[in-house]
A and B are shown apart, each in its own frame.
Chain A
Amino acid sequence: MAQKQLIVIGNGMVGHHFLEQFMATPAASDWQVTVFGEEPHLAYDRVHLSEYFNGSSHADLAMATRADYDQWGLDFHPGEPVTRIGRDGQRVVTDQGAYDYDALVLATGSYPFVPPIDGHDQDHCLVYRTLEDLDAIRASAQGARTGVVVGGGLLGLEAANALKSLGLESHVVEFAPRLMPVQLDADGGALLKRKIEALGVQVHTEKATTAIVPGDEARLRMNFSDESHLDTDLIVFSAGIRPQDKLARDCGLGIGERGGIVIDDTCTTSDPTIFAIGECALWNQTIYGLVAPGYTMARTVAGRLNQDEDAAFTGADMSTKLKLLGVDVGSIGDAHAATPGARNIRFNDEQGGTYGRLVISEDGKTLLGAILVGDNGPYDTLLQYALNEIELPDHPEALILPESEGGAPALGPDALPDTAGICSCHNVTKGDVCGAIDAGCEDLAAVKTETKASTGCGGCVGLLKNVVESELEKRGVEVNRDLCEHFPHTRQELFHLVRVNGIRTFHTLINQYGRGDGCDICKPAVASILASCWNEHIMATDHVPLQDTNDTFMANMQKNGTYSIVPRVPGGEITPEKLIVLGEVAKEYDLYTKITGGQRVDLFGATLSQLPEIWEKLIDAGFETGHAYGKSMRTVKSCVGNTWCRYGVQDSTNMAIRLEERYKGLRSPHKLKFAVSGCTRECAEAQSKDIGVIATEAGWNLYVCGNGGMRPRHADLFATDLDDEQLIRTIDRLLIFYIRTADRLQRTSVWMENLEGGLDYLKEVVLEDSLGIGDELEEHMQGIVDTYQCEWKAAVEDPEKRKRFREFVNDDRKDPVQHWTTERGQRRPADETEVA
């Protein structure tokens, strides 16, 4: 059967979410999907747009990649706006062609409303919605001193934050008597204003702008109806949104009086072949300007295209929880007490700077709405009370009082019904979370991967964690984080015990804090902790029996009991002389030779007794151990950088060598990989590494917690435009914090995802030194750097240590079970059929 044609107009967050949802359904194979977007980029995260001025790039904000869309089999046309919909012929027209459809989804979004003030259309009068708008704001901010945002709503305050982060003296001009008039009441608005002004943003309420004229002290002047004026270098209009309904209007679809494409509960427009979703759609006389309702509409259409008769959009909760310029603001349900008979409880702490208001039903039993300013702590609990109509406690005021004044603890996850929404971005209920746990998810990370909960805005992570832990405990899964049966402690706790008590051997530790003899889980873990703390030679008598064989013999055991050898090649830079030595050694011992992904050379097939001999030769030629056998810093991959490459902007090879020399030998909970790229083309693939460094014109961008392997993960941008010393200081702190707090065998990515507060928390600790341990972390790292020794050099020089490298302590014969064959000119282990 020929595929039907589905066209999606608009590739914003909601349009993308529709594709993501629909392409995963059975019906997707029946349809060829074509996507048109006005913007040149694929969908990106508009909710976090202001991060664009704090170093995030389009790539960081991107929600989709061309590779994803290719993989889904989409035909996508970014930067190709649709100019007309021909409903009679079921065809859409662009400047580049005409395309037939059997079904059409409009996800055209909205555009910023610019009040028709005289002079609103001159230079330096801007809007805030797309990346192009932000580029224009950034350009306008060049040489500017002040900036004004017109509009004191949610988006306006976001825009003010953006201006502030561009270094401008920022003002907010609001027509209403208070900020965020939709979400807040007078007291809440007043507190928010005070807090924002304390952060250096001037707030002007009850100001109606009458004209924008050339200024005296700045580029522009805004004249207000009360005869006052304000001079500014640029103006950003953020006075609300209007649905982008022009295409629908032109082709005669039903449109609301004040705009918006009219849809029913199935998100169908007045034409049964056309759906509308997101901010362009008008449902029950309402435009929903938040992303979560748009996502629900997207899922509704995906369901309908799968003949799911139950898929419906029946309105959405408009509760919001935000951090605006660092100030908590929350608004739930009927915040303005519009329900007849509603009663209020207010707690206004002008001294402490928090405001809370509860709107309660006439019978006092249910929570209708709430407002929070200054502290969103009670938000999750209040939202659950309101959404699920959970009966309020006898003294509901306790819900917003500080705990010291008798405030109630948060609503336990047990009190939530299965229908309670946990993650509104991905529409995950408590029941979904329970289902994932029943299906085998055993920790928070697994539940996140399975349900996608908490992977949108991340606001629900605390709640999700509580639900997961409570449900696991209910199922008798003891959330046991003990290292193993010998230690009733986590790795993190053991680390502290070792460090605080100055414990230097496994036996002291197990005698004082454990039981039994130890095992192959706790011994290497403790060895790693001891190495991270004291950096003694891993072949010291006390430490030898703790190590996995690879660490014991400082080589990687292969399947037939022989070992492979990887000398360090810092930054992947090697002289011809050293390369020749590697070749000669490999030839002499008949070692299979392969280039590694970390820009080194791996020599396979050495027997135990050959290892010290081989290393003597390598050390004579100037090689050091490469720690390929350890849970430790492996390699720093690099490109050639600006010494050779015509695109390079920094000397990436030099930096890679410097980093590798600094961190070589560092023992850690899991192996660590680094890379340094000399420009944004990223030839060293730094974004797939634990520590990735990418050169910029001004210095280095640092990416952290990426990895390849079984569950690949792109690294997150951590800091931008660092100079050399800042870069090293930041890496020092981050790595020691990881080493001190991660679980056994936990990669940096999983560690970071499991930190409460995630990346933001990590930034606070490392970049802002919120725990006041920055100096100590740096000293710890410096101690490790200062005590570095090449383990192999120390081993070959010590006859006692060399004694260990004997196949048999009483006989010089070769191991009789190693059998070899030759393939492509090199020796390799023979398999059983070849031996026979």
Chain B
Amino acid sequence: MSQSNQWQTICQTSDLIPHSGIAAWTERGPVAIFWRPGCEPELSAIGHFDPIARADVLARGIVGDVDGEPVVASPLYKQHFSLRTGECLEEEARVPVFPVRTEGNQVQLSLRDSASESASAA
């Protein structure tokens, strides 16, 4: 995993909401960014589009953990999506996952889907 990430500033840290999600527009479409202070990982970014409900809603789900896996629950039909891998825990479905970091008060994304690349590399 030596590829250099192309970091883009997406929004400000003041836009984040603790233990919850926000949606941001990117060249890859809508992305959901979750901030969970004190949890691991603290920041996560996945696709905002819910492939089961076919609507842009995942940033508005409840975050938490299921058997230790950090997840967001779809606000429409309540399936859980892993914040690490993007995999849906209940059904055959997956959302993209993006590397995310903060630089000062800026929230930055790398718009490659990290999970699919590491999966294809494996």
Name the residue on A nearest B68 (C-beta): A516
0/1 interface trace, chain A 535-556, chain B, CB 8 Å (1 if under): 0000001001111111011000
Chain B residues near A485: list those with CB within 8 A.
66-67
Q: Does residue B114 face the partner (Cβ distance < 8 Å to A)? A: no
Q: Is the CB of A817 within 8 A of B65?
A: no
0/1 interface trace, chain A 106-130, chain B, CB 8 Å (1 if under): 0000000000000000000000000
Q: Does residue B56 face the partner (Cβ distance < 8 Å to A)? A: yes
Q: Does residue B98 face the partner (Cβ distance < 8 Å to A)? A: no
Q: A519-B71, A549-B75, A810-B25 are in contact. Are A560 and B55 (CB under 8 A)?
A: yes
Chain B residues near A452: list those with CB within 8 A.
none
Q: A561-B56, A817-B54 are in contact. Are A519 and B64 (CB under 8 A)?
A: yes
Q: Is the CB of A520 within 8 A of B54?
A: no
Q: Is the CB of A545 within 8 A of B18?
A: yes
Q: Is the CB of A544 within 8 A of B62?
A: no
Name the residue on A nearest B57 (C-beta): A561
Q: Is the CB of A523 within 8 A of B64?
A: yes
Considering only residues 455-488 of chain A, those with a C-beta below 8 Å from chain B are: 485-486
Q: Does residue B39 face the partner (Cβ distance < 8 Å to A)? A: yes
Q: Is the CB of A557 within 8 A of B17?
A: no
Q: A541-B18, A545-B17, A559-B76 are in contact. Are A810 and B60 (CB under 8 A)?
A: no
Q: Is the CB of A524 within 8 A of B70?
A: no
Chain B residues near A523: list those with CB within 8 A.
62, 64
Q: Does residue B73 face the partner (Cβ distance < 8 Å to A)? A: yes
Q: A813-B25, A817-B49 are in contact. Are A520 and B73 (CB under 8 A)?
A: yes
Give bound CA distance, A546 to B65, whole Å.
13
28 A-B pairs with C-beta separation under 8 A: A485-B66, A517-B39, A517-B63, A517-B70, A518-B64, A518-B65, A519-B73, A520-B64, A520-B80, A523-B64, A524-B62, A544-B17, A545-B19, A545-B63, A549-B61, A549-B75, A550-B75, A557-B75, A559-B55, A561-B53, A561-B76, A807-B23, A808-B23, A810-B25, A811-B24, A815-B30, A816-B29, A816-B30
Instruction: Report the interface size for chain A: residues with CB under 8 A from the other chain.
Output: 38
Q: A-side interface residues toward B, CB under 8 Å? A: 485-486, 516-520, 522-524, 541, 544-550, 552-553, 557, 559-561, 803-804, 806-811, 813, 815-818, 832
Partner of B22, one of A809, A813, A815: A809
0/1 interface trace, chain B 8-22, chain A, CB 8 Å (1 if under): 001100010111101
Name the residue on A nearest B22 (C-beta): A809
Give bound CA distance, A552 to B71, whole Å.
18
Q: Is the CB of A810 within 8 A of B57?
A: no
Chain A residues near B73: list those with CB within 8 A.
519-520
Give bound CA distance, A318 to B61, whole Å.
60
Give bound CA distance, A519 to B71, whole Å.
8
Chain A residues near B65: list those with CB within 8 A.
516-519
How near does chain A come to B65, taking the closest CB pair, in angstroms? 5
Chain A residues near B25: list those with CB within 8 A.
808, 810-811, 813
Chain A residues near B64: list those with CB within 8 A.
486, 516-520, 522-523
Chain B residues near A516: list those with CB within 8 A.
64-65, 68
How near does chain A come to B73, taking the closest CB pair, in angstroms? 4
Q: Does residue B112 face the partner (Cβ distance < 8 Å to A)? A: no
Give bound CA distance, A545 to B34, whole Å.
11
Give bound CA distance, A520 to B72, whole Å.
8
Partner of B15, one of A546, A547, A809: A809
Q: Does residue B36 face the partner (Cβ distance < 8 Å to A)? A: yes
Chain B residues near A553: list those with CB within 8 A.
60
Chain B residues near A810: list those with CB within 8 A.
10-11, 15, 24-25
Q: Is the CB of A808 within 8 A of B60?
A: no
Q: Is the CB of A557 within 8 A of B62?
A: no
Name the residue on B nearest A808 (C-beta): B25
Give bound CA distance, A102 to B16, whole Å.
79
Give bound CA distance, A181 to B75, whole Å.
66
Q: Is the CB of A557 within 8 A of B60?
A: yes
Q: Which of B39, B60, B78 has the most CB of A within 10 A?
A: B60
Give bound CA distance, A803 to B12, whole Å.
13
Name the residue on B nearest A815 (C-beta): B56
